[in-house]
């Protein structure tokens, strides 16, 4: 091979992970017809016979001659099977690619390693032997053509790859380490345990008095006080009401009667407004009268009493034709009972002029019932709104105080009307308190009553019952009494228990927890398929709960 032929070759260096499309593209873009591909060990392009044949096919289409330089023994065998030749000009390639020397593992001035192949069929052996012979011939030609002086003067530099690649063994090791780490994380953080400790609960009832006050800050509160807030809401209700009252606006009956006095010789005074009755009907005297005293007369030897008399006008107490009564005697109710037979009124014409004309009016009962209904509606609205608009606070509904601040009726009581409209305004006032603060204060107070060797364990269904003792909203305070029925248990250090049973087998953990005061210990591990059957190694993954018998 001559120097001119040598210069026409284009050397291309491939990466370990360079794929077929990239190799084909580089061959296509080469301006030389003879191309030398320098391929490192384990390169992807050398792992597939199909890839090598496709490279050759594309090179043939581009009318370019391809040769390879590699120390990958398996790759060399595949190259020979694919119809390639091994280029012996590696020395020159080294000189021009010193930065990639290390990648390919080529030593300075070392002759190209001959191609070794695996034992195969007779056809394959023949092909390989033929390829070896061709390679040997090329080696002889190249060695004769190359000037010894030029070859020896060039310094072969190590070839450095653009970037280092992880080999297959390292990837497998990394995968194994990753799986071990995942397994470790699952063992450490995956399992959880619920430890149910059954103890015999001791009944515990306690009552505490708590005062809720509105103050500037909590510093002014006493031991039994919590901070509260005065809340108000004004509601109104308005409605039309039918009237049921009736009134007779007819004429009143009148009459002129004669009033007699046969009781005494002295004048008898009867005041205006005195009631005269007849047939259980009442008539009113329209003016003051003085009835002259009785006189004595002697006739035919007999002494007789002559009654004094005077006339007067009476009027029926109410209108109505039922007051038109016939003539007769009237009793004067203002006269004492022993005198009524001697002092009385009488008419000989009867009482006339009475008539009946009934109309509907607003009775007092109509008005009272309307006010009561609207007050109840307004009170309910005010109470509901107080609760809805202050959801962040606890409001004791029984402590809500209401007062009617205004009442307006379209017509007065006694007025003629078929219906009337009424408006009522009600103001509701209550003391609100933060529910958690109230509960915490109550628990704080009852804990002081718990014996030292006992523990207060409030259950989810425990209810704090509260009733209002006094309320003084004018002075912004309210007093309450709260009580609770719960249970006490032996004092257990749950955190200590969790730390002691970390990563212990279930049976050992149960034995460690059991005491004379603990009836039973049940440990529930999750997931159930946990192969190690031990409690979690992290205490936060262990939940200890107390159950009362």
**pLDDT per residue as tens digits for the range 2-56:** 444 444 688 889 988 888 888 888 888 888 888 888 989 888 888 888 888 888 8
Identify the band that residue 168 occupies on the pLDDT scale cut at 50, 70 and 90.
low
Cβ-proximal residues to 137 (8 Å cutoff; 6+ apart), any chain: none
Q: CB neighbours (10 Å) of residue 175?
A: 10
Structure tokens at 360: 């509907």
* Burial of 548 per CB tally in 10 Å (0-12, 13-18, 19+): middle
* Burial of 316 per CB tally in 10 Å (0-12, 13-18, 19+): buried
Instruction: Point out the least confidently predicted range of 17-26, 81-90, 411-420.
Output: 81-90
| Residue the block writes with tokens 């002029």 | 353
Average pLDDT over residues 386-393: 93
Asked if residues 498 and 545 have their Cβ atoms less than 8 Å apart, the reply is: no
How many whole angstroms separate alpha carbon 361 and alpha carbon 347?
Answer: 35
**pLDDT per residue as tens digits for the range 58-70:** 888 888 888 888 8
Identify the band that residue 226 occupies on the pLDDT scale cut at 50, 70 and 90.
very high
Cβ-proximal residues to 58 (8 Å cutoff; 6+ apart), any chain: 24, 27, 28
Cβ-count burial 424-437 (b if 16+ within 10 Å, e if not) = bbbbbbbbbbbeeb
How many whole angstroms separate alpha carbon 236 and alpha carbon 220?
Answer: 37
3-state SS record for 404-438? EEEEEECCCCCCECCEEEEEEEEEEEEEEECHHHH
Element (H, E) at 464: none
Q: Return the axis-axis angle of helices 73-81 and 122-145, rounded to nearest 10°.
A: 100
Element (H, E) at 234: strand 225-242
The answer, yes or no, to whether residue 127 has pLDDT greater than 60, is no
The answer, yes or no, to whether residue 125 has pLDDT greater than 50, is no
Structure tokens at 82: 């694919």
Structure tokens at 365: 């009962």
Cα 496 from chain centroid (whole Å): 34
Q: Is the dihedral of CA 444, 449, 454, 458 positive or negative?
A: negative
How many whole angstroms separate alpha carbon 160 and alpha carbon 40?
Answer: 11
How many whole angstroms separate alpha carbon 547 and alpha carbon 549?
Answer: 7
How many whole angstroms separate alpha carbon 76 and alpha carbon 74?
Answer: 5
Element (H, E) at 361: strand 358-361
Listed in order, strand segments (DSSP E) in 17-82 are 34-38, 65-69
Long-range contacts of 162-167 (CB under 8 A, 24+ apart): 162/15, 165/15, 165/16, 165/17, 167/42
With vertex at residue 383, the alpha carbon angle to CA 380 and CA 386, rounded to the nearest 5 degrees, is: 145
Under DSSP, the state recorded for 88 is: -
Backbone φ, ψ for residue 437 (5° rounding): -65, -40
| Residue the block writes with tokens 């009852």 | 446
Identify the band that residue 490 occupies on the pLDDT scale cut at 50, 70 and 90.
confident
**pLDDT per residue as tens digits for the range 434-462:** 999 999 999 999 999 999 888 888 888 89
How many whole angstroms separate alpha carbon 156 and alpha carbon 153?
Answer: 9
Pairing of strands 302-306, 295-299: antiparallel
DSSP one-letter string for 300-328: TTEEEEE-EEEEEEEEESS-SGGG---SE
Identify the band that residue 190 occupies on the pLDDT scale cut at 50, 70 and 90.
confident
**pLDDT per residue as tens digits for the range 130-154:** 434 443 444 433 333 344 444 344 4
Identify the three-state secondary structure at position 52. helix
Asked if residues 534 and 505 have their Cβ atoms less than 8 Å apart, the reply is: yes
The answer, yes or no, to whether residue 267 has pLDDT greater than 70, is yes
Identify the band that residue 172 occupies on the pLDDT scale cut at 50, 70 and 90.
confident
Pairing of strands 225-242, 202-213: parallel
Whether cis (ω within 30° of 0) applies to the bond prior to 527 is yes
Entry field: residues in the chain = 549
Cβ-proximal residues to 448 (8 Å cutoff; 6+ apart), any chain: none
Asked if residues 504 and 496 have their Cβ atoms less than 8 Å apart, the reply is: no
Q: Dihedral of the CA atoms 43, 44, 48, 52 (nearest 10)?
A: -70
| Residue the block writes with tokens 């039994």 | 224
Cα separations in angstroms, 484 against 432, 468, 548: 21, 15, 17
Structure tokens at 113: 């390693």
Quote the pLDDT of residue 121.
39
């Amino acid at each position: 091979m001559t120097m001119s032929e040598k210069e026409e070759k284009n050397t291309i260096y491939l990466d370990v992970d360079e794929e077929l499309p990239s190799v084909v593209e580089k061959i296509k873009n080469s301006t030389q017809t003879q191309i030398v591909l320098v391929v490192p060990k384990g390169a992807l392009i050398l792992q597939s016979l199909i890839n090598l044949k496709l490279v050759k096919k594309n090179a043939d289409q581009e009318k370019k001659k391809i040769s390879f330089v590699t120390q990958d023994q398996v790759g060399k065998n595949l190259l020979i099977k694919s119809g390639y030749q091994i280029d012996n000009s590696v020395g020159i390639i080294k000189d021009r690619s010193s930065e990639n020397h290390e990648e390919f593992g080529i030593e300075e001035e070392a002759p190209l390693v001959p191609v070794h192949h695996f034992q195969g069929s007779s056809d394959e052996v023949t092909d390989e032997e033929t390829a070896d012979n061709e390679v040997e011939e090329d080696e002889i030609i190249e060695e004769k053509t190359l000037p010894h002086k030029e070859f020896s003067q060039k310094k072969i530099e190590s070839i450095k790859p653009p970037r280092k690649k992880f080999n297959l063994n390292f990837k497998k090791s990394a995968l194994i380490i990753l799986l071990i780490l995942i397994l470790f994380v699952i063992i450490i953080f995956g399992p959880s345990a619920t430890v149910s400790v059954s103890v015999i609960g001791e009944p515990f009832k306690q009552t505490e008095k708590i005062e809720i006050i509105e103050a500037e800050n909590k510093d002014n509160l006493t031991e039994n006080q919590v901070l509260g807030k005065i809340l108000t809401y004004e509601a109104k209700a308005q409605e039309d009401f039918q009237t049921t009252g009736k009134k007779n606006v007819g004429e009143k009956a009148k009459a002129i009667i004669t009033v007699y006095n046969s009781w005494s010789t002295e004048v008898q005074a009867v005041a205006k407004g005195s009631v005269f009755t007849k047939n259980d009907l009442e008539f009113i005297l329209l003016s003051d009268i003085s009835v002259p005293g009785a006189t004595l007369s002697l006739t035919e030897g007999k002494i007789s009493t002559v009654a004094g008399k005077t006339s007067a006008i009476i009027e029926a107490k109410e209108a109505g034709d039922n007051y038109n009564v016939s003539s007769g005697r009237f009793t004067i109710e203002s006269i004492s009972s022993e005198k009524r037979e001697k002092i009385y009124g009488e008419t000989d014409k009867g009482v006339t002029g009475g008539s009946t004309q009934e109309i509907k009016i607003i009775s007092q009962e109509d008005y009272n019932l309307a006010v009561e209904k609207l007050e109840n509606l307004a009170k309910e609205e005010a109470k509901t709104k107080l609760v809805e608009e202050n959801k962040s606070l606890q409001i004791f509904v029984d402590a809500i105080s209401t007062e009617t601040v205004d009442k307006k009726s379209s017509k007065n009581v006694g007025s003629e009307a078929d219906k009337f409209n009424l408006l009522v305004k009600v103001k509701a006032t209550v003391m609100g308190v933060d529910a958690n603060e109230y509960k915490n204060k109550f628990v704080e107070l009852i804990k002081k009553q718990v014996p030292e060797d006992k523990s207060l364990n409030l259950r989810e269904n425990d209810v704090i019952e509260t009733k209002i003792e006094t309320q003084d909203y004018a002075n912004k305070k309210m007093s309450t009494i709260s009580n609770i029925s719960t249970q006490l248990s032996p004092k257990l250090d749950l955190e200590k228990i969790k730390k002691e049973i970390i990563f212990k087998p279930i049976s050992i953990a149960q034995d460690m927890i059991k005491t004379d005061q603990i009836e039973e210990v049940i440990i529930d591990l999750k997931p159930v398929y946990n192969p190690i059957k031990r409690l979690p190694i992290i205490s936060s993954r262990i939940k200890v709960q107390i159950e009362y018998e």
